[in-house]
Amino acid sequence: MSDEVKPKDSTFPVDWSSVRRVLIVRLRSIGDTVLVTPFLHALREFLPEAQIDVLLEDWVAPLLDGYEDIDRTIAIDCKNLASRLRVGRNLRRARYDVAFNLHAGTTAALLVRASGAAYRIGYDHARLKHLHNIIAPPAHVLWGTEI
């Protein structure tokens, strides 16, 4: 059986009441990692009982260690193929319900797909966006302004 989820209509297809495990992939950049914290806070308020894990590159992961709105940071050495394969297998075993790709790069898209999450959410401008089954519009459409 395929783990592919196809939206039935134009409404957001996630049944949030059944979401128990969430993965956020935000691989690089100290600044972007800091800027994602309001999203993490809002997600925690929206899903207070869910397990929320964040996947980051090993050199930036310490920024979120101890951050109260997430349950776990997962560090990856993106330069090391063995690390990427190991993390991909572990993500699949974790059985996430939802995975957000907040990075838009190739490695992030592959890891979100490897997670096996039923709902894989990524931006319209992401590389390999076909690996996501829910496509979010670009930021300027979401926020109504050019960036």
Give per-residue pLDDT as tens, 42-98. Answer: 999 999 999 999 999 999 999 999 999 999 999 999 888 898 899 999 999 999 999
pTM of the model: 0.84
Task: Name the CATH architecture for the domain at 20-143.
Answer: 3-Layer(aba) Sandwich (3.40)
3-state secondary structure of 35: helix
- 103 vs 8, 11, 26, 95, 122, CA distance in Å? 26, 24, 5, 21, 8
- Cβ burial, residue 117 (10 Å; 0-12/13-18/19+): buried
* pLDDT at residue 114 greater than cutoff 50: yes
Q: What is d(CA 91, CA 72) in angstroms, rounded to the nearest whole number?
A: 12
Q: What is d(CA 10, CA 68) in angstroms, rounded to the nearest whole number?
A: 34
Question: According to the model, what pLDDT value does residue 25 have?
Answer: 93
